[in-house]
Amino acid sequence: MNTHHLPIVLDRGSTLPLAVQLATALRQAILGGTVRHDEPLPSTRALAASVRVSRGTVVAAYDQLAGEGYLLARPGSATRVRVDRHEEAVPLPPAPARHRGTSAPDPAPGPHPRVIDLAPGHPSTRTLVDPAWTAAWRSAVAASGRSDSPPPTGTIELRTAIADHVRRARGLTCSPHDVIVTAGTSDALAAIGLALASPADAASEARAGAPRIAVEDPGYPTARRVLRRVGALLSPVPTDGTGVNLAALAAVSPAPHAVLVTPSHQYPLGSSLTVQSRLDLLAWASAAGAVVIEDDYDSEFRFGTAPLPALATLDISGRVALVGSFSKTVTPWIRCGYIVATGALGDLLREVRHDLGPSVSGVQQAALARYLDSGGLALNIARVRREYAHRRALVIGRLGDLPGVRLTGLDGGLHVVVHIHPAGAADASALVAQAAARGVRVASLADYAVVDRGQHGLVLGYGAPTDLELSRALDVLVDLLTSAAAH
């Protein structure tokens, strides 16, 4: 790409930052067809020299356009255009008039060749194909000609790498011995459920009966299904904007053997337990002789504040089982996670894992261990955090000022809850169906509840779509929410 063919004129007397001007000029060049789909852009150094700005200014402009979905930036290769000039684009930040729901009308209803999926739980994986990821898998495959099976609790290399990861990312000091490798969160919860249902006395095979486990309501539906599959009896506990209701938990009778919580970013409401509430929860667990299952599903992603330390960092009696996964930080396709547990609880979980055998292939464990050790995961988290910040700002800008709408869950994670006020003023299930008919997939908050406690709204994820796709989806949602408020 000859930089002289790019129509870039920067006004050095303008109050707009040069990076913003450069991003605008490049965006117009893409939409005007000057540079086309899959064509490479100049290197940051070449473009910086051509337009006489710092390389940091070009990097900032490229990052902005990559977050919006115009460019595909991969470490070690040229940055390429990923938007066809026939696609409609919406500049960021959105115009103020669009904040109030005055977006252009959608095309006439009809079949949509591509659904924009805003269902929560899907991360961005566009930044994953980098030299560290490729090298990790190449090394793992080269060393895969072994005749033995991986250790049931995981290879020492991966357990050591995970122990180092949770120390740096979650503030939890543990040994590799405390780490058990799992095939994701569902596998971890199944193992914990089986451990809680294990014979109380292995010699006599005397059983204590089905484990009773308290769960957040609303909460993670898949977790409830998995725990029921292993025979657990579940007790839903009310949960709101401050987290799980500890008074309601203490009132559960008979006292549960365990409670499953998402203390750093409650799923799906997005609240975080205060330090005092965490201490109170651990005090309850100690008094009840119960286990606390901490689902730490997306705590690496916080906006405006540092990631909160794990609840397990406050545990001094070995009652917390920290469940983590690489689904959000790497990709759900690798199906790999971990449990961190100490003391008698850790021993019991290791026994279950030995009985079940390894659940993650040795090649995959070797690749992931190398990726963590190389620093590739930490760099990838930093890259996708910038992407998510772009989309979070877009969601706030487009939905935050709508009448009758309140947003929660935006302090961290990859999704937002759109509360509709007054409760029941709009039928969330109807809005979900209407959005689907117009090519946008979202979830209803009611889908996460066991008991209807009057919490109504939509849950939408902004991790996987590009900024361009998200903006189009928000056009549809703004129109639907505005129409619902008007009626």
Amino acid making up residue 253: S
Same domain assignment for residues 140 and 246: yes
Q: 331 and 309, same structural domain? A: yes
pLDDT-derived band at 423, boundaries 50, 70, 90: low
User: Does 38 fall in a domain?
Assistant: yes
pLDDT tens, 364-411?
A: 999 999 999 999 999 888 888 888 888 898 999 999 999 889 999 888
State pLDDT tens for residues 257-282: 999 999 998 999 988 888 899 999 99
Considering the domain boundaries, does residue 379 fall inside one? no
pTM of the model: 0.77
Q: Is the pLDDT of residue 73 over 80?
A: no
Neighbours of 431 (CB within 10 A): 22
Count how many Cα atoms sit within 13 Å of the Cα of residue 75 in the half-sphere of its side chain.
13
What local confidence, expressed as pLDDT, does residue 107 receive?
A: 38
Same domain? 162 vs 105: no
287 plus 367 within the same structural domain: yes
Nearest to 263 by CA among 247, 288, 246, 286: 246
Summarised one tens digit per residue, pLDDT across range 1-60 is 544 456 688 888 888 889 888 988 888 888 777 788 788 888 888 888 888 899 989 988
d(CA 278, CA 156) in angstroms, rounded, equals 31
pLDDT over 60 at 89, yes or no = no
Within a domain: 28: yes
Task: Decide if 124 is inside a domain.
Answer: no
Q: In CATH, what number is assigned to the domain containing residue 435? A: 3.90.1150.10
- CATH code at 25? 1.10.10.10
Confidence of residue 144 (pLDDT cuts 50, 70, 90): confident
% pLDDT > 70, the chain: 87
Task: Mark which of 374, 406, 429 sits at the end of a domain.
Answer: 374
Contact assessment for residue 303 and residue 389, using Cβ atoms and an 8 Å cutoff: yes
Contacts of 290 (CB under 8 A, 6+ apart): 255, 256, 257, 258, 259, 284, 319
Higher model confidence: residue 242 or residue 95?
Answer: 242
Do 135 and 103 share a structural domain? no
Find all residues with CB under 8 Å of 121, minimum gap 6, and list them. 414, 415, 461
| Same-domain pairing of 402 and 304 | no
Tell whether 126 is covered by a domain.
Answer: no
- The total domain count for the chain is 3
Same domain for 412 and 360?
A: no
| pLDDT value, residue 91 | 39
Q: Which of 374, 408, 438 is the last residue of a domain?
A: 374
- Residue 334 and residue 241 share a domain: yes
- Residue 395 counted as domain residue: yes
Q: What percent of the chain has pLDDT over 90?
A: 50
Considering only residues 94 and 453, tell me which one the structure prediction assigns the higher pLDDT: 453
> Rounded distance, CA 481 to CA 140, Å?
49
163 and 218 inside one domain: yes
Contact 193, 226 (CB under 8 A): yes
**Domain housing 32:** 3-89
Query: Does 125 map to a domain?
Result: no
Query: Has residue 94 got a pLDDT over 50?
Result: no
What mean pLDDT value characterizes the chain? Answer: 85
Instruction: Identify the pLDDT of residue 241.
Output: 84
Query: Residues 23, 110: one domain?
Result: no
What's the rounded Cα separation, in Å, for the pair 235 and 217? 9
The CATH number given to whatever domain includes residue 357 is 3.40.640.10
Q: Is residue 284 in a domain?
A: yes
Q: Calculate mean pLDDT across residues 224-235.
A: 96
pLDDT(206) > 60: no
Residues 70, 163 within the same domain: no
Domain boundary among 374, 406, 441: 374
- On whether both 412 and 368 belong to a single domain, the answer is no
The whole-number pLDDT of residue 99 equals 32
- Provide CB contacts within 8 A for 453, sequence distance 6+: 217, 238
- pLDDT of 153 higher than 90: yes
